[in-house]
Structure 1
Amino acid sequence: MTVILVFFIASWYLSLFFQTFFLHRYAAHKSFTMSKFTEKVVYVLTWIFQGSNYLSPYGYGVMHRMHHAFADTEDDPHSPKYDETIWNMMWKTKTIYSDIANKKLIPEKRFTEGVPQWEAFDKIARSWPSRIFWAGVYITIYYVYADVWWLWLLLPIQFLLSPIHGAIINWFAHKYGYRNFEVGDTSRNFLPVDFLMMGESYHNNHHKNGSRPNFGGIRWHEIDPTYLVMKVLDKIGVITLKRHKEVQLENIEKAKAA
Structure 2
Amino acid sequence: MLVLAATPIGQVGDAPPRLAHELATADVVAAEDTRRLKRLTTDLGVTITGRVVSYFEGNESARTPMLLDSLLAGERVLLVTDAGMPSVSDPGYRLVVAAVEHDVRVTAVPGPSAVLTALAVSGLPVDRFCFEGFLPRKAGERKRRLADLADERRTMVFFEAPHRTEAALAAMAQALGDDRAAAVCRELTKTHEEVRRGPLAELVAWAAEGVRGEVTIVVAGAGPAAAIANDPASLRAAVAALEADGTSRKEAIVEVARRAGVPKREVYNLVHGGGHGAQERP
Decide: shared fold, TM above 0.5: no
TM-score tier (shorter): under 0.3
Q: TM (normalized to structure 1)?
A: 0.24
